[in-house]
C-alpha cells in the first residue's frame, strides 16, 4: 500500500540523516522495514528485556516465584539509572517488584539482582533458543571491572523485535506471564524516545524498553491502536549527543503513530 511505502521512505530518510551507526526494524501486519536490522550494537538497558523474558520463563517452570523475597546487602546497591541506590531503608522486596523496577525506571540495582537470581548463562541460552544471535549479556550494569576487561552487552534491532514478539505471542511464556510482562512494559516511566511525540493519555499505547549510554540511544516497543499493532526497535550509536538520538527515535515514533492513526 502507498501509506506503507510512505512510512518506509520517511523512516529511511530520517535514519540516513543520522551521522552515526543506526539499526532499525519496524514491522506491521503487512510489511517489515529493515535498516541494518542484524547489525550487532551495544544494547545499553534494552537487554533488560532479555532478563525479563528469562525470569518469567523460570516463573512458568516454578524455578522462580513472583512473590519470593529478595534481600539486599550493602554491596548490592548500584549507581546509575534507577531509584534503589537512593533509598536507604530498602532491605528486601519481592521478585515481581524487582523486575518491575528493572523495566519501568531501568533500575541497575534491580537488574543486577535479577541477573544473579536468574543466571547470566540461562539468559544467554534463551537468546540462542530464540535465534537472537546478536544478543549477548556479558556483564552486569555499572560493572567497572568487567568494562575494563572489554566486556559489554550487545543486541540488534532484529533481535529486540523477536523478543517483543515472544512477549506478545507464541508459546515461550504462559498466557498469564505474557499478560504480566506486557503490563510492566506499558508502565514505562522513561518516555523520551519512541513515546516522545505521543501524549500520555492518547489511545495509542506503547509497551517498551529503552536504553542509553554516552553516544548510545536505543528503544524497542509494541505500538497498539484499536487492534492494529506495530513492533519497532531503533538502535543508535556514535550519536553526537544523546539528545540528537532521542529526537530521532521520537521522530520515528511519531511516524509510526501517524501511520496507526490512519489505519
pLDDT at 207 (0 to 100)? 97
CA distances 2 to 9, 125, 163, 180, 203, Å, are 11, 41, 29, 36, 24
For 217, other C-beta atoms within 10 Å of its C-beta total 26
pLDDT score for 199 = 86
Residue 201 sits in a domain whose CATH number is 3.40.710.10
R_g of the chain, CA atoms, integer Å: 18
pLDDT at position 144 over 80: no
Mean pLDDT for 216-230 is: 96
CA nearest to 101, candidates 58, 45, 140? 45
Q: What is the per-residue pLDDT for 145?
A: 81
Give the chain's end-to-end CA distance (angstroms, integer): 11
What is the reported pLDDT for 234? Answer: 98
Res. 106: pLDDT tops 80:
yes
**Are the CB atoms for 168 and 152 separated by under 8 Å?**
no
Element (H, E) at 221: strand 216-225
What's the total number of domains in the chain? Answer: 1
117, pLDDT greater than 80:
yes
What average pLDDT is seen over the chain? 94
**Boundaries of domain holding 257:** 2-261
pLDDT, position 98? 96
CB 118 within 8 A of CB 55: yes
pLDDT of residue 181: 97
Instruction: Sort residue 119 into left (φ over 0), alpha (ψ -120 to 50) or beta.
Output: left
| pLDDT over 70 percentage in the chain | 100
Amino acid at each position: 500500500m502507498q501509506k506503507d511505502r510512505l512510512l518506509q521512505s520517511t523512516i529511511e530518510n530520517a535514519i540516513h540523516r543520522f551521522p552515526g551507526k543506526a539499526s532499525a526494524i519496524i514491522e506491521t501486519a503487512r510489511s517489515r522495514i529493515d535498516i541494518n536490522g542484524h547489525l550487532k550494537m551495544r544494547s545499553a538497558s534494552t537487554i533488560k528485556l532479555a532478563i525479563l523474558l528469562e525470569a518469567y520463563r523460570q516463573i512458568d517452570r516454578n524455578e522462580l516465584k513472583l512473590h519470593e523475597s529478595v534481600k539486599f546487602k550493602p554491596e548490592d546497591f548500584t549507581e546509575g539509572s534507577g531509584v534503589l541506590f537512593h533509598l536507604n531503608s530498602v532491605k528486601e522486596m519481592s521478585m515481581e517488584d524487582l523486575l518491575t523496577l528493572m523495566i519501568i525506571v531501568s533500575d541497575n540495582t534491580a537488574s543486577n539482582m535479577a541477573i544473579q537470581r536468574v543466571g547470566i548463562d540461562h539468559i544467554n541460552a534463551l537468546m540462542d533458543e530464540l535465534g537472537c544471535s546478536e544478543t549477548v549479556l556479558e556483564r552486569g550494569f555499572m560493572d567497572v571491572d568487567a568494562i575494563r576487561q572489554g566486556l559489554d552487552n550487545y543486541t540488534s534491532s532484529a533481535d529486540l523485535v523477536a523478543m517483543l514478539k515472544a512477549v506478545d505471542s507464541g508459546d515461550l511464556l504462559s498466557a498469564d506471564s505474557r499478560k504480566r510482562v506486557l503490563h510492566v512494559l506499558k508502565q514505562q516511566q522513561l518516555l523520551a524516545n519512541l513515546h516522545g511525540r505521543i501524549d500520555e493519555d492518547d489511545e495509542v499505547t506503547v509497551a517498551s524498553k529503552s536504553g542509553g549510554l554516552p553516544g548510545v540511544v536505543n528503544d524497542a516497543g509494541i505500538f497498539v491502536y484499536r487492534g492494529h499493532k506495530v513492533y519497532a526497535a531503533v538502535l543508535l550509536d556514535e550519536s553526537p549527543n544523546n539528545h540528537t538520538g532521542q529526537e530521532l527515535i521520537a521522530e520515528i515514533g511519531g511516524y509510526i503513530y501517524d501511520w496507526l492513526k490512519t489505519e
